[in-house]
Amino acid sequence: MNWRERGACRFEDPELFFPLGESGLSLLQIEQARAVCHRCPVLRECRTWALRNRECDGVWGGMTAKERRAAAGRGFGGRGR
């Protein structure tokens, strides 16, 4: 089974995970998306996939695009760390 088929987000509106920014009113949307991520059984797989594939938009594995860029800069390339 593909890890995506087990994601908690499969029951949510996909727009929730793609806020228009990372400040202001978008912060509430990001926190709502993270709440889904934090109850997800495949959070680690999702985060790893987003880091490995350099996903540049949205909330994946509880991380925003900005957080993923920062993590990649610190050497976290999604190798299960």
pLDDT band at 80 (very low <50, low <70, confident <90, very high): very low
Angular region, 61: left φ>0, alpha ψ -120 to 50, beta rest: left
CB atoms within 10 A of CB 59: 27
pLDDT band at 30 (very low <50, low <70, confident <90, very high): very high
Backbone angles phi, psi at 62, to 5 degrees: 80, 5
pLDDT at 70 over 80: yes
CB 37 within 8 A of CB 43: yes
Question: Which pLDDT score is estimated for 2?
Answer: 93
Question: Which pLDDT score is estimated for 73?
Answer: 80
The model carries a pTM of 0.85
Average of per-residue pLDDT across 75-79: 56
